[in-house]
Structure 1
Amino acid sequence: MDGDVLSLPGPTRIEFTCQHIIREPKEKLTLFDPTPPPQAAQKRDLQRLGKYIVTSQCLGTGSFATVHLALDPTRQRQVACKSIRTRKDNEVDQVMKEVKILMKLKHVRVHTHVRYIDYLSSTFQPNINEIYDTEQDKRFLNIFLQLCTGSDLFTYITGPMGAGNPLCEAEAKYIMYQLLEGLRYLHDLMISHRGLPENILLHAPGPYPRILIADFGLARPNAYQETFNVCGTVSYLPPEGILALDHKHLGYIGMPADCWSAGVILYVMLAGCHPFDNEPDKHPRVSTFSDGSSDISTSTGSRDTRLKERIVYGGVHFPHYPWHDLQEAKQLILELLIHDHTQRATVYDALASSWVQNEIKELKTLYRRRITADVQTCT
């Protein structure tokens, strides 16, 4: 934390002081820019909320919520406090929807083939950001969550050398395996996330990270049902989501949309670029509606329009390195990015793919070691 001092013993005493440097926020210029630093948030003094102590250190802020570092003295651990302002009844209802989903994830027993240690077969899925508690005051609903210190997945992919650094196949496979296990847990409970790309967090810094799916504000229960409420980042919406976004009489289903997002994420990890971001404009707009209206709305600007066209009408291209050595990964991506959502691969199909199953023993061993180490650190 800011102000902490590390002393190294020896003939000459050496001390290091941790100092957080805050840069001015900036907009994301490209898909692979790191997540912009949070807007400067108003500092708060130490505040007691139930058994927790909320510090003034702001970890992030968004349109509806601010996240601060908090302490749990009873368990001697650091946690994240997500404070959501609730000024209107509809805002309270939306927040309570997220809390109910989180509590459902926490309390429903996991029925899974993963039986490494008791921790993995208890009421907690290691790749879902865990909720600890909630506290409400006059202005905020405060959700206390598992603290993640490794930033987010796309900041990790970007790395210190610049945007668009692909991961090696082994690390991408390890991360994808965790993502699929987390999604399988959600889909078993008939919950779709619908906001994956921005909300894949790293539990701690370092290679071969443990990932956690976070922020269930856009999640939907009864995910097998069609919804007309489209949400998520355009770059990761499936074709049926793009069409539903621009035509309110069309709907889409959350679980196949999650699988499409997972396919895009896998492509990005292996190639360092988005599968639909740089494809030449070969696919003209085609109207399929009786009133002659365009399938794709142009109201969001030409760049977004071209991206939407590529997603709806285009195919996935594997133009050069590293794809010639990744045939099984290519096949999985193609199956996850099938335009017809009824034919698209499910998370169960993806976990059963040859790309995953060829090294499933190694994946499980690495997974077990990482989770065991994390549990021992926290206890």
Structure 2
Amino acid sequence: MPSINPSATRRLDDWSASPLTPAADWINSSSICARLATFNKEGRREVLELSIDRPLTIGRHPACSYVVSDIVASGIHCKLYAVRPSNGGVLVSCSDFSTNGLLLNGHKIRKTSVLLMDGDTIQIPHSQKFECIHVHKSPQKTHIFDPTPPMNPLLKTKRIGRYIVTSHCLGSGSFATVHLAMDTAAFRQVACKTIKRKSKDKVDKVMKEVDILIALDHPNINRVWAAKHDNSFVHIFLELCTGGDLFSYIVGHENSRLCEGEAKYMMFQLLKGLKYLHDRLISHRAKPENILLYTPGPYPRIQIADFGLARPKAYQETFNVCGTVSYLPPEGILALDHKHLGYVGMPADCWSAGVIMYIMLAGGHPFDYDKQDGESNWYSYRPSEVLDNSQVGDLSQSSVQSDRMVKKRIVHGEVEFPPYIWSAIPDAQTLCGNLLVYDPLDRATVHSALRNVWFTRDASDLEAAYRERMGSS
């Protein structure tokens, strides 16, 4: 008979309305993100509750949140997390640690992590089945590429080669949407990034760029498994990350700061991933929102993702400035405002890595913060192209002024390292300062950064943890 942790579960009978605990009030409890409903061997329906700060474990071990005594269950068969990504909502992920694997909606998965949508089922083979019930439900699209959800949603799927693409939307932007999909041949979930083709696009050029990404193979680079195209769309199938993004992970910590050990481990991975790219003359222009956590949990494996801004031949000067202002280096800001100037991608990546390192350890951005007393909103020089009111469009005046201040600080200011944070970690401050050097020719490279004493002092421990965690993912 299954045994359960009373704090993690309720009988479904408790869902009925009563004068003391109305069902609507209980279901809308802010701390509960999702529930797993199951029938035990006695035929009684039970419910496990999942919240952001309380993951659940299912397995044969007595310490699990829900104990399944069947011999087909592993000690810890699977672990479930609720994660808040930076684009809102909640991700419910399930990581399989078992010998026999799991069935996700009838599809076999093994030694991987998947996302559970509302109504999805997971099952220990030849044993119990659990239905995932999201507390806050997002309407799905009637058609996979329909931007407007209907009032009565119904999940739709579309077959593209070996992939079944669902209408579960994981994210969207100006040029692409990302949907959850199943790779039926490899028994795993993937993300399908769909880009609407413009009439002037040449498929051969797009696919050539995609082929460069498909060839990348590194544990800290989000894999591109395949790409398909038709007359209207290009579909890119990506490795699925289930732990949210680095930005959400950082702000979820007390004071939005990671401990030195965890920040070091994550910077080690980031620089290894960038080194792999730079050795192949590719730059990425990273920011925390497009660094993903492969699975949830502490000391996570990270993956550099979203290669829409990636650039091959990154040793060459570019005049195409893109990326978020807060993560652009001084030479990128100058090129943004003076169209005759260019900058090189690889040193820009190192600057962005320095900004990310600062955020992880200090809990704030080195340049993007509230206006200080006596600080001017304006540049000390005039951009070559001044926007008039018609060009500003929907941008608010405060947003424009904020961008001006951030640009000014990046171009003219020096980084401040408050002693109450950085005096205890001087080697980290030295490395961060080397990555945030104004002159790109003097700035640390990924190779010199990895040779910094902040890493080399703990080299054996870092490498051991790296090998163990990357190999088991």
Task: Quote the residue 1:53 is aligned against.
Answer: 164
Task: Quote the residue 1:7 is aligned against.
Answer: 38
2:388 corresponds to 1:277 = no
2:454 corresponds to 1:350 = no
In the alignment, is the contact (CA less than 8 A) between 1:297 and 1:305 conserved in 2? no
Task: Quote the residue 1:152 is aligned against.
Answer: 245
Q: Which runs of 5 or more structure 2 residues have no equivalent in the other structure?
A: 1-32, 52-83, 90-137, 145-155, 393-398
Supply the AA of the counterpart residue of 2:218.
Answer: Q
What SS is found at the alignment partner of 2:248? helix
Q: CA deviation at 1:80?
A: 0.8
Summarize the alignment of residues 248-327 of structure 1 with structure 2, pairs less than 5 Å apart.
248-278=339-369, 280=372, 285-287=379-381, 293-294=382-383, 301-327=400-426
What SS is found at the alignment partner of 1:322? helix
Supply the AA of the counterpart residue of 2:368.
Answer: D
Count how many residue pairs are aligned between Structure 1 and Structure 2.
336
In the alignment, is the contact (CA less than 8 A) between 2:176 and 2:193 conserved in 1? yes
Greater per-residue strand proportion: 2
Selected match of 1:362 from 454, 458, 461: 461
Summarize the alignment of residues 43-122 of structure 1 with structure 2, pairs less than 5 Å apart.
43=142, 44=144, 45-90=156-201, 95-96=206-207, 98-105=209-216
2:472 corresponds to 1:373 = yes
What SS is found at the alignment partner of 1:75? coil
User: Cα RMSD over matched residues?
Assistant: 2.9
* 1:111-152 per-position Cα deviation (integer Å, ceiling 9, x unaligned): xxxxxxxxxxxxx21000011111112321111110000110
Task: Quote the residue 1:139 is aligned against.
Answer: 232
Q: Percent identity?
A: 54
What SS is found at the alignment partner of 2:438? coil
In the alignment, is the contact (CA less than 8 A) between 1:226 and 1:251 conserved in 2? yes
* 1:268-299 per-position Cα deviation (integer Å, ceiling 9, x unaligned): 00011001123746687444xxxxx4479676
Q: CA deviation at 1:13?
A: 4.5
Summarize the alignment of residues 214-253 of structure 1 with structure 2, pairs less than 5 Å apart.
214-253=305-344
Q: CA deviation at 1:11?
A: 6.7
In the alignment, is the contact (CA less than 8 A) between 2:193 and 2:238 conserved in 1? yes
Supply the AA of the counterpart residue of 1:179.
Answer: L
Summarize the alignment of residues 158-169 of structure 1 with structure 2, pairs less than 5 Å apart.
158-159=251-252, 164-169=255-260
* 1:198-253 per-position Cα deviation (integer Å, ceiling 9, x unaligned): 31000011110000011111111111110000011100000000000011000000
* 1:148-205 per-position Cα deviation (integer Å, ceiling 9, x unaligned): 00110001111176xx510000000000000000000000000001244331000011
Q: CA deviation at 1:338?
A: 0.4
Using the size of structure 1 for normalisation, the TM-score is: 0.81
Task: Quote the residue 1:35 is aligned against.
Answer: 86
Q: Which runs of 5 or more structure 1 residues have no equivalent in the other structure?
A: 21-32, 106-123, 288-292, 375-379
In the alignment, is the contact (CA less than 8 A) between 1:127 and 1:178 conserved in 2? yes
Supply the AA of the counterpart residue of 1:345.
Answer: A
Q: 2:140 & 2:202 partners in 1: Cα distance?
A: 21
What SS is found at the alignment partner of 1:155? helix
Do the aligned partners of residues 327 and 249 (structure 1) sit closer, same or farther apart at CA in structure 2, a change above 3 Å counting?
A: same
In the alignment, is the contact (CA less than 8 A) between 2:141 and 2:168 conserved in 1? no
Q: 1:335 & 1:73 partners in 2: Cα distance?
A: 47
Task: Quote the residue 1:115 is aligned against.
Answer: none
2:272 corresponds to 1:181 = yes
**Looking at CA atoms only, which structure, 1 or 2, has the larger radius of gyration?**
2
Selected match of 2:222 from 122, 129, 143: 129
Do the aligned partners of residues 353 and 46 (structure 1) sit closer, same or farther apart at CA in structure 2, a change above 3 Å counting?
A: same
